[in-house]
A and B are shown apart, each in its own frame.
Chain A
Amino acid sequence: MCSNRFRVRGSGGGYALALIAAVLPVAVQGADVPEPVLAAERGRIEAIARGAQAAVAIFAGEAGGGSGVLISPTGYALTNFHVVQPAGVAMKCGLSDGRVHDAILVGLDPTGDVALVKLVGRDDFPFAELTDSDLVEVGDFCYAAGNPFLLATDLRPSISAGIVSGVHRYQFPAGTILEYADCLQVDAAINPGNSGGGLFDARGRLIGVNGRASFEKRGRVNVGVGYAISANQLRNFLGFLKGGRLVDHATLGATVATDEDGRVVVSDILESSDAYRRGLRYDDEIVSLAGRPVRTVNALKNVLGTLPAGWRVPVVFRRSGRRMEALVRLAGLHRPTELAKLVAADEAEQKGPSPGGAPPPARPKPAPLPDAVKHLYEARNGFTNHHFNILERDRVAAGIAASAASAATAGAWVMSGRLDSGAPFRIELSDTRGVIDLPTGTSEVDATGELDADPGPPGSGGMLAALLLWRRLLLEGPARLGRTSYWGMQPRDPATLGEFAQVDLVDVLETAAAAVEARFAVGADGGVIGIELWPVPDADPCEVRLSPLAEGPPGMPAVIEVRHGDALFGTFHVEDVRFEPVAPQPPGETS
């Protein structure tokens, strides 16, 4: 230590400067400090400045307020459900430059304590980049930027620095909402008011959203134990939130417990669950979920808590030494009405019981929305803000239209090619009917009526119906296809979950039309890459995967893979696609 000395230039005041510098490392410019130290300091200052710019002070009037963090130049900002809950649909948001913007509520995830809001007034908001929070390590430097104790009267955020104290932490929910799964634990001070603000790494990238702290005997002040929702969980839900939804988290449909050997085993399972249909049974040992190893009950809750309802994830389990794997569709933790009720109930609770045990006063009539945001809100059951669902749906529609522009030809679409076995097939899709010729026979579905009656061809679970809806989607667009809304985002290939650091997500549209329900997965280029069709709700859907054709009509598939339940129905290698302006005469007899 003693040999490590630094020369301080100048005399007289030199030692005084050195003393100050020792206390305040920020003030060392005057000293002959090694360049790496100065570089690290500059890096830190820049990182903090970047995070501070993206920080949002949220004001909810008398109900208090909190923090938020901008994640796009267009004004999308993440915060906590429990911050915006008392604020209602519209709120005022302050940025570090001292300006106040109107903001509108976009999406809610009460289970994960997340809300998405959109600030208006600029299209070049400073924003933070969501990074891969699974790369965060215990001991890493981190800092929080927010509005603790609502101190930011000049709108400049407070910064509290610390280290990451723990990763993949689990914090129990309050009832069924406000669950912090797989969260980051930090010793940076997280106080009331920091809720919803960003947690940043040493490079100023967003690793999480602060929202919770362990409090105990000292009251509601920080005791060095704060928690942040991980960026990776936020990314999983972001599509749903941007779609203006009231988002639900996932459940496996089974409960697990640790047995005497320390294995995590299924202790109960719903026979109506997809997990059961895919073969999971009582006493099976869970090995991994969504590509993450499961060694404790907490680990399972951790993974499950970061997943949206409706995703399919790989589950690896073991039975009498035999390893098995299945792709399981996760159900919702709540019924949709239940979630809406919980949100409303929580709102009432926020007001607190009135003194004297009298019934709480009727909710004051909500104030009219400010002019700046009132065109950005549309109430609808099951949605937080339906306006944003339309925006997202139209965005996806534009992508589909662009990618399939020349294919959108009315008349019959005829695809022919060979199956894996080499046998030929022919598929015809038109306004009036869907026909498939297979070596095993021909199936026909009436395209003009309801599609739930005939899930043909037999064994496919509804392949023709799925392709007919797909044709209508490309021809008519989502706005005119039955009731079509933006669903959210899901992994492009769920089977590979956990193999890659960051999940590759694609947009999904949800359609109720012709008495069936369907979901279309749409790639970033606007190509439809997958269809799931449920002739009957809560049963196994027909799953169609479309691989794009390299050459030929855009939007048309090169390979169509059809699955139903656990079985592969067939893989169709398309060799030729023809558009027939007029539907051919129905053949008298099939050949």
Chain B
Amino acid sequence: MTGRSGGRSRWNSWRMVGVAMLAAAVHAGVASWTSASAPGEVIAAAARKVVKVYGAGGVRGLEAYQSGVIVSPEGHVVTVMSTVLDAEVIDCVLDDGRRYRATLKGIDPERELAVLTIEGEELPAFVLDEADPLAVGSRIYALSNLFGVAVGDERVSVQHGVIAAFVPLAARRGAYEAPFRGDVYILDCTTNNPGSPGGALVDRQGRLAGLLGKELRAAASGVWLNYALPASEVARSYRQMLAGEAVAPPPADAAPAVFDPLALGVVLVPDLLDKTPPFVESVGAGSAAARAGLVPDDLLVAVNGRAVASRAAVRQALALVPEGDPVRVTVVRKGALVECDLGPRPAGGRP
């Protein structure tokens, strides 16, 4: 279009790289800055293939909505496997406001994906294998119903960004490690928002390049990850789910993880019964608990807002607090509820 070639033979490979990068930057620049209608049309066409998914949730920290992508004209929707789908009624709402009841057709516990079916006809659908794998530096759009902003016939939100890296996923949710360990696109675009999981990552031509993943944090740093599963991985998962291959039981949970409050300086009364009430026996001198003003005979009733009825429950609730996140306990002291901030949860604590 706007480029011209010349003197190619005189260039060494280093120069070639440089020029190719320049060409890419200029090319992208032209597309993004001067042709006003083109991005709008690409986005509008892609948005018609993204659905708003509604299911279970609505309580604190668990949204009742997420996003999904239509991948076949007969009404297959790929989304993330989450508590939203743990509902008797799952609805998908299209770009034009049409609302369909969805059926859970299959799940992929490893990639944490699910396929839903809706009874629509001639639905606008992404072609799963259409897009080439994206190179680092490629410009992308992310389309999703973040924060549930769009309702009814309102269009899902679109954000722009660049592929920042293509690396194996090493992530966790709370204290649990995410099962998928394959390569994912890391994005310089904040897609880690409620409602975004299941949204579409598309290239500048509007082809499906990936699926926005669940809200996860990097295992090493605890930083919230903006990432997407590549389309090839989504396609593989989709076919396995349709074939019924991937519907494996979730990995059997070993004994629930626990975290000993001793690491925070809290000594609870001895565990004599099944449900020993979590009274504070003593507080370690100079410990986080002491600094927070915890005193003997305080009765712990909640850890970070989660009710704890027993000693065992305290240990489990603490295990769910990601390392480095603030720990806040609610205690009953002389008949009154008192909040104590114990500071960041330290590492370890596993008895």
Partner-A contacts on B (CB < 8 A): 1-8, 14-15, 17-27, 29-30, 32-34, 36-37, 39-40, 42-44, 47, 97, 99, 141, 146-147, 149-160, 189-194, 224
Check if B224 sits within 8 Å of A22, measured CB to CB.
no
> Are B193 and A223 closer than 8 Å at their CB atoms?
yes
Say how far B46's CB is from chain A's closest CB, in angstroms: 10
Q: Which 6 A-B pairs have the closest CB atoms?
A: A224-B190, A4-B3, A22-B21, A18-B18, A296-B152, A139-B39
Binding-face segment, A163-171, A373-381, A453-461: A163-171
Our pick among B4, B15, B26, B27 for the contact of A28 (Cβ within 8 Å) is B26
B29 touches A19 (CB 8 A): no
Docked Cα-Cα span, A141 to B18, in Å, equals 27
Q: In the assembled complex, how far is the CB of residue B31 from the closest CB belonging to chain A, in whole angstroms? A: 10
Asked if A536 is at the interface of the complex by the 8 Å CB criterion, the answer is no
Q: Are A225 and B189 in contact (CB under 8 A)?
A: no
Closest to A24 in B: B25
CB contact under 8 A between A295 and B97, given known A5-B20, A214-B147: yes
- Within the complex, what minimum Cβ distance (angstroms) separates A168 from chain B? 7
Partner of B22, one of A6, A44, A299: A6
Known contacts A7-B6, A222-B190, A298-B152; is A15 also within 8 Å of B26 by CB? no
Contact of B3 among A6, A18, A223 (CB under 8 A): A6
Given A18-B19, A224-B190: A138 and B155 within 8 A (CB)?
A: yes
Say how far A230's CB is from chain B's closest CB, in angstroms: 15
Query: For A269, what are the chain B residues with a Cβ–Cβ distance below 8 Å?
Result: none
Chain A residues positioned under 8 Å from B24 (CB to CB): 1, 22
Interface size on A, residues (CB 8 A): 56
A327 at the interface (CB under 8 A from B): no
Q: Do A165 and B159 have beta carbons less than 8 Å apart? A: yes
Stretch at the interface among A29-37, A51-59, A73-81: A29-37
Contact code string A200-242 (vs B, CB < 8 Å = 1, else 0)? 0010000000000010111000111100000000000000000
State whether A40 and B154 are in contact (beta carbons under 8 Å apart), knowing that A6-B3, A6-B19 are contacts in the complex: no
CB distance from B244 to the nearest CB of A (A): 35
Once bound together, how far apart are the Cα atoms of A223 and B215, in whole Å? 13
In the complex where A4-B27, A7-B7, A137-B40 touch, is A223 in contact with B190 (Cβ < 8 A)?
yes
The answer to whether B3 and A36 touch across the interface, beta carbons within 8 angstroms, is no
Q: Are A214 and B146 in contact (CB under 8 A)?
A: yes
Residues from chain B with Cβ under 8 Å of A299 in the complex: 152
Q: Shortest CB–CB separation between residue A207 and chain B, in angstroms? A: 13
A185 to B3, CA, bound (A): 35
* A-B contacts, 16 listed (Cβ < 8 Å): A8-B15, A19-B22, A25-B29, A37-B29, A39-B34, A40-B29, A137-B37, A168-B154, A169-B149, A169-B154, A187-B160, A224-B146, A224-B159, A225-B193, A298-B154, A299-B152
Q: Which residue of chain B is the closest to A31 with respect to CB atoms?
A: B22
Bound: A350/B162 CA distance, A: 40
Q: Are A25 and B97 in contact (CB under 8 A)?
A: no
8 further A-B pairs in the complex, CB-CB below 8 A; given A15-B15, A138-B47, A296-B153? A5-B4, A6-B22, A138-B44, A163-B160, A169-B149, A171-B149, A295-B152, A299-B152
